[in-house]
Every structure is written in C-alpha cells, then in structure tokens.
Structure 1
Amino acid sequence: MTFRSLLPLLVFALFSSTVFAQEMLPKPEGPFQGKIGLTYKDSTAVKPELKIPANLGLKNPPNVLLVLIDDCGYGQMGTFGGGIPTPNMDRVANNGLRYTRFHTTALCSPTRAALLTGRNHHSVASGTIGESGTGFPGYTGVIPASAGTVAQILREYGYCNAWFGKNHNVPDWETSLVGPFDRWSESLGFDYFYGFVGGDTDQFHPALVENKKRIEPPETNEDGSPYHFTTDITDHAIRTIRAAKAVAPQRPFFVYYATGATHAPHQVPKEWIEKFKGKFDGGWDKYREETFARQKEMGIIPQNAKLTARPESLPAWDSLPEDQRKVYAKMMEVFAAFTAHTDHEVGRLIDAVDEIGELDNTIIIYMAGDNGSSAEGGMSGLVNEMTFFNGIEEPLQMKLDAMGTLGSDQHYNHFPAAWAHAMDTPYQWTKQIASHFGGTRNGMAISWPAGIKARGEIRDQFHHVIDIAPTLLEIAGITPPVELNGVAQKPIEGISMAYTFADADAEGRRTTQYFEMLGNQGIYHEGWMASAVRGAPWLSENEPGDLLNMPWELYNVEEDFTQSNDLAKQNPEKLREMVKLFFAEAAKYNVLPLDDRKTERLNVENRPSLTEGRTKFVYPNLLRLPEGASPDLKHKSHTVTADVEIPDQGGEGMLFTQGGRFGGYGLFLKDGKLVYHYNLVGVDRYTVESAARIPPGKTTLKMVYETDADKPFAGADVTLYAGDKLIGKGRVEKSIPNRVTLDETLDIGFDTGTPVMEGYDMPFDFTGKLKSLKIELD
C-alpha cells in the first residue's frame, strides 16, 4: 500500500483522535472494570465513584463565591473612591486585587447571561432584558442550549452550586407555575435557588421563589429582626454553605449571590438610613468632585485623568429650589444606606466562609454592578418606579409628602438621574448607555489567598464580563466542553483573566470588545474607543434619530481614561475604521438588526404568550400568575365573573387582583360590599363600589370594564353586577399603558405581596366559597 493510499486513513485517524480528545459532558460512561461471572461468588464488583473533583481529574479546585451587586456605579463604593463606605468590598480588594478597567453590557439580563455563559450577550440571545425581547436571534431572551453556563460545567465536575437573589434570565412567558423550567436556575446549572425571578422586587415583600415554587416571605429574618430580602438571602446562603461542607467536604461550592440591591426600589431598614443623615446635602456636583479626588488619591484612576462634564440636560445642584434639594438629598441618603447595608450582608457571607475554614481556597469575585448606576428615576427621582416604566409624570408634592417614609415598604423609590450620574464618577452617562464607560465600567475586586499572592494591588488590563467564566474554568483546571448534554457548544468568547493574577504589568489579552444596548453603540480596539449615544437614559423613549447615521465620538482610552477628549474631528480616518469594526463585530455576534425602541419593545405581543389567541380564562381559587403568563387586560374591554357563595355573616376578601401598592387593580368584597379598585401607579386611584352589601347565598359577581379605546392611557366605564342586577358603576379616567407590575402576581381568591388598596390586611383571603373566576376579553 502506497503512502498516497494511506494518507486519507491517517488524516481520518488524526481527526478522530482530536475530536474524541475534546471534552464532552456529562462524561461518557466507561466500560465495567470488574469481573462478571455466573454468580456473585465468582464475580468482582466495582463501586460507583463519588461525583467529586478528585475522581474527575481535578486537584483541589477552589470554592467560588460570585457576588453581583445590581445597578451599581463605578464611583459608588468606597472601595473605588465613592462616598459610601464599603468595608467588605475593601476587605476583598485588600486581600487580593482591584480591577479598574472591567466592563459589563450596560443592562441587567444581558450582563447576567454573559457572566454565566462566557459569551457576548447578543450571542446568547440576551441583547436586552427579557421583558423587551423580540423575535430576532440576538434578542429573544432565550439562552440557547448551545451556550452552556459555567455552573453547568462545574456541576459536572462535582461542584455543589447554589444561586441566591436575582434571576433575570428566565423568559417572561416561562415564569408561571407550569414553566417550562428548562431555562430556570436548575437547568442553568444550580442545585438550589432562593430569590426572585425578574428585574426587581420589593425588598420588604419580595416575590420569593424557592427552586420552582413561589412562596411568601417570613415576617422576620433568622435573628428575629424585621424582614429584609438581602438579609434573608444571606441567611439562606450561609446555611447552605455550612450544610454543604458539613455533609460533603469533598465537594467545592459555587455560590452565586446576586442581590436585588442596589436596583430600585431603594428600601432599607430605617436605622441604616439614619447613619447617612445630612451627608449628601452638598449635592451631586460636590459628590463628583470629592469622589474624583479620592479616586486619584487611591490610584484607581491615573493622575492625568479628567473629570467629565455633567450633561447640560442634568441640572446643577445649586440651581435647584430648596425643597427639591431637600428631597433629593434624602433620596441619596436612602440609596447610600441601601448600598452600605448590602455590603454589610456580603460581609456576613464572607465571615461564614472564613468561620468554616474555607476562605483560603475560595475565590471571591465581588462585582460592583451589572451596569452603571440607574438614571431610570428620571430628572426628579421617583416615589414609585412604575411611573417611569409607564410614562406617567409624578408630581413633586408626592415626593415631599414621602420624605418621612422614603426607604420603607410604602414606596418603590428611585433617586434622580443626576445622582446616578454622580455614582458613575468620573465617567459620562449611566446604565443603558453602552457607548460610554458610565454605563459599562464597573469596579471589581477578586481575592483567592491560595491562588493570588498579591495583596491590595491594582490591575488595569481591559476586561469584560464574558471573561469571568473562562477564568473560573482555568483556575479549576477544566477544559470547556465541545458538547454539553448532547448539544454542540458555541465557543466561549471570553478570555481568562488568570494571567493577571501574578503580573500587574502583563499585556492585556482582550484587544477588541463591542458594546450595544438600546441603540447605543460602542467599540473598543487596541486602546481606542468609538462611541455613539442614541438617547438619554432618563427618557422613557428615545427622541427621533437614525441608527445608521449616529454622531460617533472617538477616544484614545489608553491616554484618556475617562473619555473626556473627543478626537473624532482630529482623526476621522481612525473613526471610520472603528465604526466599520463595530458593524463587523455586530454581524458576527447577532447584534443586528439594531433596535433603539424602548417602551414599544415592552409590548407582550412581541413575545410568545400562553394567552395568545385566547379570549376566555377560567381560573381556580388560590392561583398566582406572573404578568408574563396572565391575560393582558391593559386598555382592553373585559369582564371578570366570580361564581361565589357568600357566608351568613357576609363576605369579605379578594376575588381577583393584579399588582399591588405600586400599581394594579382588584375586585373584592370589603365590609360586605363589592369593590373594584384601580391604582394608577399611585398617582391616581379610582374606586367603584356597590351601594349595598352582598347578601348571603350563592351568586355570580361580575365586573364589566369597557374601555374608551384600545390604546395606552385610555379611560373606561366600570359596572358591577350581582347576578343580573346592576349594583354599582363608575369611571377609570386613565389607565396603565405598559406594565402593571415588575414583581407582583395575578392572584385569585387572596392577595400576595402588597395590597392594591390600603385598608385591608394581607393576604385578604376570600371568606366565602369561590368556585371559579372567569376573565373574558370583549
């Protein structure tokens, strides 16, 4: 046989050995290594091995504690020069490294998807939050099976994985009790989940989920103090870590601790707010100047860095009337307390790891933000964040009236955009704005005493959130699989940061990174950054513009750390080169088509729906449904009919409600009367009530909602019936246009979360018999 005839066989053999040498997970079962005889007496058994790293080829891989703070700006935490003390982030940084040029995607779900998968957010269909997903490959909100998570991989090597806090990576239409659950936390690689599913939640009355089950929060924390969500998830995380190490010390843990803080609502125990009284009376301009000075003093930013200017659209602090300065300073006190309280809870978690002797071989990654600080509080801040998402103006008097209770469970509050801008010192812009570092650059600290010898050092290599997953795999000694659960895997797009651990001067390995969010566009390449802003983040909708003819800016970010000197006019050729590169990267990573819509993308008709095409819904008693799985009743005519039996002593309680204190509606019996209440995100309220009590016995109670028009904000006539008898009528003058609630549910026969109207006690169970409740769209 000639060499020429052998060549195809040699190539095939080489190719085959390469393919089979690559990792497939779960690992294929090997042949039985014992002996099979006719009976057990002449056979040799081989016990199955424990699924622990030592039996899977890993040598003492570290535990992982991944901390992700929500909506946190670069200049917020004291660890990066901010004005809010964060001693526990300091502790991590001083026991390891501060990363001063670490970047996120500029928005929530996208950053989280990129973090877990090690791939760009559009690559994993997470180009925006799930609630605004569309039918294009980069924007569906459905993380593909071809992009397995780092948690899935670690679990196959014996890690014990648990997720606490926020999960904003479940498609909106899959969040109900029927799932499907193949994109919930367990299928993303976690053995246990305790937190909430969605964008944000009430910190005192959270929409709690344990694994796949919706539950109501306890009245107190484990120590008996009044309940708070951040404390609760910390209690659960500590208990889980202790139990896991007590039962299976051979298994390292991967704990993903993703707080709801410091995303709105800014809610925190009162004693924490009192610690910051008067500390922000100087305003946001002074805060920026003081933070900028501290950042230089700490070596966080270069000495030649310049403080970027406050946008002209944001007011100077000294230009504000005294009453506005007073309420805005209070809002910042609440936010600072929220931040400090969160860092305190992270500290409790780190202490627990230390107390069981695991701190030395635990890598702690403390990410101060999934994007920049949020300007979604608008120009004047908010008592209720739902007003922003529904484009409803909130009068100043509402804020003044709330001064004494800001930060409590009475408000879903958010601070003004100018404070968010200050939290992102020294950069331009805020959350949403992917083109500039105010939206994408976040402080990060990493410690791992057994693997990082440096203490308190700074690393300034340019890195991105997609680089975390490959870093964890490298330090554990794991090769990314080419196949996971039978599905071929997309290549990981991140670059391990482990090379920076021992070498502050190592040349950065991430040379190119695109950025895009809501039409805001940016591209980093070899020290240069091109940036194009589509619209201000404090506006609920972008002003008219052309996505293909943007006012691009150009920065040499090796020399201009803060993007303060636009070189577009001086170097148009470089700018053209960078813009072309952006579109090349955009095509490569599923960014196209560019989409700058905001509120329009929130329309549920853009996504799959369990209710699509249906006009009649019959629900049993004691059912809870998230908004994404509920009938869309906004500005639509509909009828709600309850088949009930009223007890002899009279009926009381909730028949049907969606939402709660911060927006929604409900049909219930109170003082024996049938009541329909419509809460226009706290700005206005409309009540229609029967003239008389509903008598005992079986009856049909009905509410007919007849809209003036099927369009946003439309009013409606409301009519109440008992049987066929008209018992009440009235008006809803203005309706919720976009989103009823961010975290509460549609409830049948009771009310969870917060009350839609003050004056009744939760859970306001219906005291009669509710056979069924029917909703019909007319």
Structure 2
Amino acid sequence: MKKIISILSTVILLTSCAEKSESVQANTAVEADAKKPNILLLVADDTAFGDIGAYGSEVHTPNMNEIANAGIRFTNFHVSPVCSVTRSMLFTGNDNIEVGLGSFDYSVYPATRGKKGYEGYLTKDAVTISELLNDDGYEVYKSGKWHLGGEESGGKGPLEWGFTKEFGILSGGSNHWNDLAMTPNFKDPNGLNVKRKENWTLNGEPYDRPEGVYSGEIYTNQMLEFIKEGAKNDKPWFAYMAFTTAHFPIQAPKGLIMKYYPKYLELGYAGLKKSRYESLKAQGLISHEATEAPFNNLTKKWQDLSQENKEKQAKIMATYAAMIEDQDNRIGQILDYLRESGQLDNTLVVYMTDNGPEGLEPTNPKTGNPEFAKWIENQFDSSFEAIGTANSQNVIGTSWANSATGGLQWWKWFVGEGGIRVPLMIVPPGAFNTDYVRAGEKSNVAVYVKDVPMTILEYANVKHPMTEYKDKKVIPPTGISMKPFLDGQFDVVRTDKDWWAFELFGNGYVMQGEFKAMKVRTGMFGDGQWHLYNVVSDPSESHPLEHKNPEKLKAMIALYESYIAKNNILAVDADWSAFKGASQ
C-alpha cells in the first residue's frame, strides 16, 4: 500500500511539474508574442530601380537578395525625386510640403524663399516616428546622413527629433574616404579654389573622422556599437541606417571596382539599359507588356566616345557598382550580428532607396553647374587611375543614370518613373526563420513612401496622436499602413480610389491605382502638358493614354489641383531650370 501511495505521489508531482512547465512555456510564448519588435530601416542613397541583384541587376548583392527572398519585393513603390524631400515623408507620413520640404536645399526657386512649407528643412508642424518610438520606450539610433536640418540653413539635428544616439553628417553627402565635403562653399569668393571640411558628429558632439575608412564601414560599425550598447538596457530599438552609397562622389574600395569594369566597357550605355530592362522583365519585376524606354536626348551615345573616355566611363560605373556591393556587405554585417545575437527573429527589416540615380553632370550645359565643374577641375584628380579614390570627384552622369533604371525613363530630380520608382523590400518580424506565407513574393500594389512610417508604427503597436502632440497641434499623416497587406489580410495597400499627389520644382504628378498623371515644365525638358499612363503595364511611360481616356485624366487633374490648393503650392515659371538654380 505504501508503495502504491508513493507511486501515486510521484505521478502527481511529475504531473504538477509538467503542468507548471507547460504554463511557464505558455507564458513565455505570450511574453515573446507581446515583446516589441526591433526595427531596422535601411535606406540607400541615389540608387536606381535596377541597381541591386534582387531587382535584376548584375551587381553582386547576396544579402539584399536574402531580404527579398525572406519578405516581399515591391515593384510599384514611389518616393520623391530628391533625397531630403523623401526623408521628410519617410519620418512623418505627411506630404513634404506640410513639413517644410516643399523646397530642396540644393536648388531653390527664388519666389519660394521664406514661404511656409518651403523652409528646406523638417519643421515641427508634424511629429516624427522617431519621437513616437522614443516616447514608447524604444532606443532610437541614426547612423549616416541626416539631410533634414541642423546646418546653417536651419532646422534641427537628429537628437532634437527623438533619436537617443546619432552618428554621421547633417548634410546630403560627403567624401567617402575622409572628412571633406562633396561640394564647395559657393558663397565663399574663394570657395572654388579650396576643399572644405564636412561637419561630423557623434551624439551631437564634433567627431574627428579618420581618413582612409570607407563610409559604409564607419557608419555600419558605429550602428552596431549602438545596438550592442543598447542591448544592456533590454529595450526594443529602432535603427535608421542611412547609407551615403551610392551618392556622389563615386568612390569605392579598390578591390571591388575592377570586377565590373570589363562588363560595362563591353555593354556601354545602351547595352546596360537593355540588359537591365530584359532582366527586370524576365524576372517579373516589370510587366511582360513593358516596352523599352526610348532614347533620351540628354544622354550620350557610347559609340560617340573616344576609347579613352569609354574606359574612364566604364571604370566610373564599375565604381558605382562597387559602392552598391559594399553596401550589401555592410547589410550582411548587420544581419549576421542580429542572427548571432538572437535578435533577427524579432526584427522588422525595411530596405528602400530615397530616389533614383543622380544624373548631375557638372560639365553638361543642360543639366550641369559650371562653378561645380570648375571646382572639380581645380581640386581633384580626373585621371583613370584616380577613379574611386579619395582624390577623385566623379559622378555617373546622365547617361549611366539613364541606363541604371533599365525599363524606366529619367532619373533623380525628375518625376518620371526612373526618378521616383525605387526598390522597397520588407521582412516582417519572424519571417527570416518561419514559413512566411508571402516570402519571396513580388508585388505591384501601389505603395508610397508615406506608407512606410505608418507600417513601422503599427508593427511597433504605437498609436499616432494624429492632430495633437505634447499639447501642440500637428498635421495628421496621410500614409497608409502596409501591415494588413504584409500579414496577408488584404490584397492591396491602397484601393483604386486612394490617391496621392506630389510637386517639386513646378513639376507634378498624381497616382491613383495603376494610373499616373504627370506634367513636366519646359525648363525641366518636358512639354508643360498633362499626360496619363498606366505605369504597371507601361513603366517606361512610352504609351500616353490621355486621348483614349480623357475623363480619367480630367478626374486626376482635379485631384492634383485640390492638392495644390490645399497646400498653397506656388507656381513656377515654365522655363526656370532647377539645375541653373542649384547651389550649396
């Protein structure tokens, strides 16, 4: 009898332990589900729709490809045609004109100076996601470029916008190897005869940037330091990794450059554009109905170049490709650390670029800047051997920028698809290590940069205050969260009735579903007329639809005009050139 009682006691004890164990496991699972996700926002600079491997490029980008295969690749994602304007929407979910970026700091239409909405830096008229995440207990990190204010032109730096730690530059770019600025001081009478230094900061204090360390390396290492230090606090984090690759000056690690040189020397401008167009089409990244973009008369023909110039141009493009490969290597560093430290599974990963490739060409009489060209000639080495080094100051120019976009037209500064359609890849928390139902999907649903911050907030379970923040009135955001789409609940992000409009330099467009109505001034090489396109079936904008569907165009113009009226957007003279108005 005693033996039976003993056995029964043991069984009861084991059962109780098992139940407790199951209870602990259940509670742990609930806690894990409730834990706030980390957020890794990776933003590339001046990188084309066709520039990375996951979007049909010949450039070696295995880590970006891993992101694409684990999550969703968006093929109909739009931003603004210039850096800071995109970033203002990325951090607020608002239209750029609502938060001070109706004007681009490197080129300002004179009549807009001092006008509301045209400050040229992020204003306090809205609240940023960095502030809201900070309020919710997140560590908030930024490494790389800022380009939203804090310089002489006004505005505030990252620490004034909710970031707990920051590193890098306030401006739009810099030399990739040292502390030199990427442009001269145009206001200094002697500015074209000297090189000037960029201001670097670490947590708001001046930082002595070492020479010879590449930008991708220095930015990534500092971001990893922030994340590692923050792990001690056991808080979720938001990491804004703002690369300056592949922004000019075109410079890259020597060992990565020459591997691409023979291919670009063989293909030339038209050959690369055709190759990328065919790759995008074959991989389903643009429609099977898409036609090749017509020749752009601002670009050059490869056969018209001398052999010496062909070799220089091929090396410049090879350096640009190397910049993108280096960025991929740095992303790999971050992903590897997160995987090894057990944080990747609870991290939302977003990769995007801020606009299309830079077509600035200082010596080009139509899209150049003679003062900038003179400074480059005076201060840098333009030889073949120097390309990619700290003492070079090259740009890819209009012809390579046009080629990089593959099946699209135009490039940075322009509202054609090549300037505003860019890569976006999102991996929800847990998707790297689970059977995510949408893993590897390529989607042509319409998405706008304003939708990214709203998605981040919803994954973080942070509610936007909409009209009032800390006893101050703010303009509510109009972005739409992509989370229901990413979670498989909806088939679209924006319905056919949802729309957005955009204006910069007097050029504008409005998007609704697959349709885009666009008008470009004569001063920016347009005809000043409205045109209608279906940019899903016709991404090269080669087949205007305004004569077939005049009522649709009329309705979309009315939407655009309501946007202009609501935001008091100023008209721009038809013949004004944003390039002639460009300055530091």
Q: Equivalent residue for 1:359?
A: 344
- Paired amino acid for 2:486: F
Q: Residue 238 of structure 1 is aligned with which of 207, 224, 228?
A: 224
Q: 1:370-399 CA distances to partner (integer Å, 9 max, x unpaired)?
A: 111110125779xxx9x7373646999999
Q: 1:138-162 CA distances to partner (integer Å, 9 max, x unpaired)?
A: 2112423231100100111110001
- Paired amino acid for 2:124: A
Q: Does 1:342 align with 2:323?
A: no
State the 1:132 CA deviation. Answer: 4.2
The 5-angstrom pairing of residues 624-635 of structure 1 reads none
The 5-angstrom pairing of residues 237-386 of structure 1 reads 237-245=223-231, 247-249=232-234, 251-281=235-265, 282-367=267-352, 369-377=353-361
Q: Does 1:450 align with 2:435?
A: no
Q: Does 1:203 align with 2:188?
A: no
CA contact (8 A) 1:126 1:139 kept: yes
Distance in structure 1 (CA, Å) of the matches to 2:222 and 2:306: 45
Larger strand proportion of the pair = 1
State the 1:478 CA deviation. Answer: 1.8
Q: Structure 1 residues 259, 380: closer, same or farther in 2, change over 3 A? A: same
Distance in structure 1 (CA, Å) of the matches to 2:93 and 2:382: 46
State the 1:469 CA deviation. Answer: 0.9
Q: Structure 1 residues 160, 365: closer, same or farther in 2, change over 3 A? A: same
My pick for the range that moved more, 201-210 or 252-261, is: 201-210
CA contact (8 A) 2:143 2:223 kept: yes
Distance in structure 1 (CA, Å) of the matches to 2:555 and 2:161: 38
Q: Does 1:526 align with 2:510?
A: no
Q: Equivalent residue for 2:38?
A: 63
Q: Equivalent residue for 2:404?
A: 423
Q: Equivalent residue for 1:216?
A: 208
Q: Equivalent residue for 1:99?
A: 74
Distance in structure 2 (CA, Å) of the matches to 1:563 and 1:543: 17
State the 1:92 CA deviation. Answer: 0.7
Q: Equivalent residue for 2:86?
A: 111
Q: Structure 1 residues 198, 397: closer, same or farther in 2, change over 3 A? A: closer
- Paired amino acid for 2:224: I
Distance in structure 1 (CA, Å) of the matches to 2:472 and 2:140: 21
Q: Does 1:587 align with 2:565?
A: yes
User: Counterpart of 1:403 in 2: which secondary structure?
Assistant: coil
State the 1:580 CA deviation. Answer: 2.7
Q: 1:516-561 CA distances to partner (integer Å, 9 max, x unpaired)?
A: 22222111123321112235xxxxxx4799xxx8222211234323
The 5-angstrom pairing of residues 46-57 of structure 1 reads none
User: Counterpart of 2:369 in 1: which secondary structure?
Assistant: helix
State the 1:244 CA deviation. Answer: 0.8
- Paired amino acid for 1:278: P
Q: 1:705-747 CA distances to partner (integer Å, 9 max, x unpaired)?
A: xxxxxxxxxxxxxxxxxxxxxxxxxxxxxxxxx54xxxxxxxx
Distance in structure 2 (CA, Å) of the matches to 1:499 and 1:235: 34
Distance in structure 2 (CA, Å) of the matches to 1:84 and 1:350: 19
CA contact (8 A) 2:150 2:170 kept: no
- Paired amino acid for 1:563: E
- Paired amino acid for 1:433: F
Identity %: 28
State the 1:310 CA deviation. Answer: 2.2
Distance in structure 1 (CA, Å) of the matches to 2:51 and 2:489: 25
Q: RCO (CA 8 Å, sep 6+): is it higher in 1 or 2?
A: 2
Distance in structure 2 (CA, Å) of the matches to 1:317 and 1:294: 21
- Paired amino acid for 2:391: Q
State the 1:346 CA deviation. Answer: 1.5
Distance in structure 2 (CA, Å) of the matches to 1:504 and 1:259: 33
* Number of residues of Structure 1 aligned to a counterpart in Structure 2: 519
Q: Does 1:153 align with 2:132?
A: yes
Q: 1:497-526 CA distances to partner (integer Å, 9 max, x unpaired)?
A: 112213397134252121222222111123
CA contact (8 A) 1:130 1:169 kept: no
Distance in structure 2 (CA, Å) of the matches to 1:64 and 1:227: 27
Q: Equivalent residue for 2:445?
A: 461
State the 1:316 CA deviation. Answer: 2.4
**TM-score normalised by structure 1 residue count:** 0.63
Q: CA RMSD of the aligned region, Å?
A: 2.8
Q: Equivalent residue for 2:13?
A: none
Distance in structure 2 (CA, Å) of the matches to 1:503 and 1:441: 24
User: Counterpart of 2:450 in 1: which secondary structure?
Assistant: helix
- Paired amino acid for 2:175: D
Q: Residue 419 of structure 2 is aligned with which of 418, 422, 439?
A: 439
Q: 1:46-104 CA distances to partner (integer Å, 9 max, x unpaired)?
A: xxxxxxxxxxxx93121000000000010111110122121111011111111111110
* Structure 1 spans left out of the alignment, 5+ residues: 1-57, 176-181, 220-225, 536-541, 603-737, 740-778
State the 1:600 CA deviation. Answer: 6.8
Q: Structure 1 residues 590, 159: closer, same or farther in 2, change over 3 A? A: farther
Q: 1:305-340 CA distances to partner (integer Å, 9 max, x unpaired)?
A: 112112133222223332222221111111111111
The 5-angstrom pairing of residues 571-650 of structure 1 reads 571-594=549-572, 596=576, 598=578
Q: Equivalent residue for 2:152?
A: 173
State the 1:196 CA deviation. Answer: 0.5
Distance in structure 1 (CA, Å) of the matches to 2:258 and 2:227: 33
Q: Equivalent residue for 2:57?
A: 82
Distance in structure 2 (CA, Å) of the matches to 1:389 and 1:168: 24
State the 1:491 CA deviation. Answer: 1.0
User: Counterpart of 2:553 in 1: which secondary structure?
Assistant: helix
Q: Structure 1 residues 264, 104: closer, same or farther in 2, change over 3 A? A: same
Larger helix proportion of the pair = 2
CA contact (8 A) 2:407 2:539 kept: no
Q: 1:595-649 CA distances to partner (integer Å, 9 max, x unpaired)?
A: 75536755xxxxxxxxxxxxxxxxxxxxxxxxxxxxxxxxxxxxxxxxxxxxxxx
Q: Structure 1 residues 273, 476: closer, same or farther in 2, change over 3 A? A: same
State the 1:366 CA deviation. Answer: 0.7
Distance in structure 2 (CA, Å) of the matches to 1:71 and 1:401: 22
Q: Structure 1 residues 519, 171: closer, same or farther in 2, change over 3 A? A: farther
Of the two, which has the highest radius of gyration? 1
CA contact (8 A) 1:218 1:227 kept: yes
Distance in structure 1 (CA, Å) of the matches to 2:293 and 2:446: 20
Q: Does 1:512 align with 2:520?
A: no
User: Counterpart of 2:424 in 1: which secondary structure?
Assistant: strand
Q: Equivalent residue for 1:621?
A: none
Distance in structure 2 (CA, Å) of the matches to 1:169 and 1:459: 30
Q: Equivalent residue for 2:114?
A: 135
